[in-house]
Structure 1
């Protein structure tokens, strides 16, 4: 008798993928960023923004890609991507380090770097 077992063929998601909440920016707004696979790399889109009381607000960045071309470097590290920093309206080099449900996000341009810690929502 021949028994054939079928495995679930759904691709395993990278732990980076999901919905993340940013730290408050200079305008005291937080955002929800959806990180997803874009071909063999990762990109992130602004899905929603919230004021300091937690009320959803409309901004021109909703629906826009925040970063793209982020590569897996191994060991929870991602880099070599591009990030758009909306408050400064500049493009910068993007890198991220994942540790559980925390994501250290870093943007660097001309030797000047800024970072935030994002928290996983789902």
Structure 2
């Protein structure tokens, strides 16, 4: 009985750590116009997705975006050790979706969008 209880606690602890690792809101790197977005990560069917929740112009003023509420990151699997893969990232400016991988180190999230073997990486910062 103690073994079952211990196994259950270990499983719950692992699940809680998994959810805390990428939860929250991250500030994107500025796009070509200097605008930044706030992307909130959440569990989407056992994987992780990130939706745009706010946008700001280069001066730091909140702006309206037709993309608010839409997923920017979709279906990322937690590979452990702060690494995520198997998902996609959508570039609203180009309206293109790319294979993606991410790596979380502290409050920094390296987000890569890839076509074939060429990847472009942005560094996002956790703000909440």
Same fold (TM over 0.5): yes
Equivalenced residues, count: 115
Paired position in structure 2 for 1:83: 89
TM-superposed CA distance for 1:56, in Å, is 0.3
Q: TM-score with structure 1 length normalisation?
A: 0.87
Q: How many angstroms apart in 1 are the aligned matches of 2:66 and 2:115?
A: 23
**How far apart in 2 are the matches of 1:61 and 1:35?**
15
Give the alignment's TM-score, normalised by structure 2. 0.83
| Superposition misfits of 4+ residues, deviation over 2 angstroms | none
For residues 58 and 74 of structure 1, the distance between their equivalents in structure 2, rounded to whole angstroms, comes to 35
2:78 is the counterpart of 1:63? no
Q: Following the alignment from structure 2 to structure 1, what is the Cα–Cα distance between the partners of residues 109 and 88?
A: 16
* CA shift for structure 1 position 110: 3.0
How much is the aligned-residue C-alpha RMSD, in angstroms?
1.7
Q: SS state of the match for residue 52, structure 2?
A: strand
